[in-house]
Amino acid sequence: MRALKFSIILSFIAIYMHADSFVVPFLSIIFILSALGLWAQAYLKYYELEHALTQRNHQRKIEQDETPHFLDGNVEFLRPQPYLQRKTGELLL
């Protein structure tokens, strides 16, 4: 963003000075285009990172939805499970 501001200021200075030289306006145009390229590159990187973060959060939500919860009203989890008593070996409910 600084490069974009600098190039715009440089181009206004070149226009204000009525530069007859071909070099100053040409350089200001090059500065503006390079600054816009840098800005576009930074924006694309930001968009890419935001997309990756959204995908990761979506994947976490899917993983959380797949894990069983005891309080979701599912009868399978609320039903007591039979197990063997350690000492006698009889089946308890």
pTM: 0.42
For residues 41 and 27, the answer to whether their CB atoms sit within 8 Å is no
pLDDT in tens, 7-40: 777 777 767 666 566 666 777 777 778 888 888 8
Q: Read off the pLDDT band of 68 (50, 70, 90).
A: low
pLDDT score for 4: 67
Boundaries of every domain in the chain: 2-66
For residues 41 and 62, the answer to whether their CB atoms sit within 8 Å is no
